[in-house]
Amino acid sequence: MALYENNSISTHFALATLKAATRMGVDLGALLEEVELNPKLLTNPKFRLTPAQFGSLARLTWEKGDDEFMGCTQRPAKYGTFSLYAREAIRAPNLYEAYRHLCRFYRLVNDSITLSIHVEGEIATLSMHQSKPELDSEFILRDFLLLLWHRFPSWLIGKRIPLFNVEMQGEIPEHAAEYRLMFPCPVSYGAEENRLLFDASVLEEPIIQDLGTLKEHLRNAPLQWFTRQEYVPIFTRRVRELIERPQSSEVGMESIADSLNITTRTLRRKLADEGTRFQDIKDSVRRDHAIHLLNQSALPIQTIASELGYSETAAFIRAFAKWTGQTPKAFRTGH
């Protein structure tokens, strides 16, 4: 759930999700097989998942367990509950009304959590109370919902909501280091309730999404909630999709620009406007593919390097170390 610089996710969240799946009676063997995760790798504390792997694990757990609250509450939230809220949220005129609807909606459909929005001066506070927090002993539901109540509303208005602070109940958890990249602000503990504190002026921002963009957003959920959000990443997304196509490891900027019917100069400018570069996107695709191959297969590193388009294995090793801080061999073995 936490995005590190190497774009990977801690096993804490995977293990907590699997515990939740067990509570809901989900067949773990079938679940792991469908996600293509080797259960032995999850015992390695240094092993990390790609966002795509964890996104699939979370979605399938919610779907197979038919509970978006992952067995962490007295009453389940049936799979599809969030989609119902989202379809109404895009009809709201502004962010404030979207948050007000959020609080009303969950009060009506499930009393396991209580949400409230409060404004005092320049600070807006979204508070979340869990009726039985002891059922969420791994904090997987709390962490996910706090992340969701920040990232989905940010997507609704097309810009990141500036957080001042995140307040959490209880003591500092062992995985607290993950929060620094989940939330772009200080995180404090020992609070009376779980809260997001942010700039109240953003509540006036209009909702810019519609039913069409929402359908695409929900189709990719929850992957986009576990990665750095790009709110209007039109060209970034299209370039990544083209690079990810089979046999595209050697694709260049010129061929991508031709596919998009624009010049390389225009493509470079469009990507810069979205805060990225062609090489960054290509490296991101290679990195995710490399992590997947190292996790899921016994392919020699030389073969993986070739599959990723590297003519020399040493070049791949250097690139992987730059992405993750580890060599491919060290990453695979957990050393």
C-alpha dihedral, 296 to 299 to 302 to 307, nearest 10°: -70
User: Residue 255 is inside which H or E element, if any?
Assistant: helix 253-259
Please state at what angle helix 140-157 crosses helix 81-89, rounded to 10 degrees. Answer: 30
Residue that wins the pLDDT comparison between 244 and 137 = 137
Cis bond before residue 222 (omega within 30° of 0):
yes
Q: One-letter amino acid identity for 154? A: S
What pLDDT score does 101 carry?
Answer: 97
Q: One-letter amino acid identity for 90? A: I
Most confident among 158-162, 168-172, 330-334 (mean pLDDT): 168-172
pLDDT per residue over 68-97, tens digit each? 999 999 999 999 999 999 999 999 999 999
Strand partners, 49: 9
Using DSSP, state whether 200 is helix, strand or coil: helix
- 106 neighbors 82 (Cβ within 8 angstroms): no
What pLDDT score does 184 carry?
Answer: 82
Residue that wins the pLDDT comparison between 101 and 235 = 101
Q: Cα separation of 20 and 136, whole Å?
A: 9
pLDDT per residue over 190-235, tens digit each? 999 999 999 999 999 999 888 888 888 888 787 777 765 555 567 8
Q: Cα separation of 277 and 94, whole Å?
A: 32
Q: What values do phi and psi take at 92, rounded to 5?
A: -70, 145
State the chain's mean pLDDT as an integer: 87
- Mean pLDDT to the nearest integer, 303-322: 88
Length of the chain, in residues: 335
pLDDT per residue over 114-145, tens digit each? 999 999 999 999 999 999 999 999 999 999 99
> Which three-class secondary structure string do you get for 28-95?
HHHHHHHHCCCCCHHHCCCCEECHHHHHHHHHHHHHHHCCCCCCCCCCCCCCCHHHHHHHHHCCCCEH
pTM, entire model: 0.69
Q: Cα separation of 130 and 142, whole Å?
A: 8
Q: Which residue has the tokens 């799979």?
A: 79
Residue that wins the pLDDT comparison between 243 and 314 = 314
The domain locations on the chain are 9-204, 233-333
Q: Cα separation of 145 and 127, whole Å?
A: 11
CATH code for residues 233-333: 1.10.10.60
Q: What values do phi and psi take at 167, rounded to 5?
A: -110, 135
- Starting at the earlier edge strand, list the strands of the sheet with 163-168: 113-120, 123-130, 194-199, 163-168, 187-189
Q: What values do phi and psi take at 123, rounded to 5?
A: -115, 130
Q: Which residue has the tokens 């031709």?
A: 258
Q: Which two tokens stand for residue 262?
A: 């624009």
Q: Which contacts qualify for 150-154: CB closer than 8 Å, 24 or more apart? A: 150/183, 150/196, 150/198, 151/224, 151/225, 151/229, 152/86, 152/89, 152/225, 153/89, 153/95, 153/98, 153/99, 153/102, 154/229, 154/231
Q: Cα separation of 105 and 150, whole Å?
A: 17
Instruction: Calculate what percentage of the chain has a pLDDT beyond 90.
Output: 48
Q: Cα separation of 287 and 308, whole Å?
A: 9
What pLDDT score does 259 carry?
Answer: 87
Cα 183 to the center of its chain, rounded Å:
12
Per-residue pLDDT band for 244 (boundaries 50, 70, 90) equals: confident
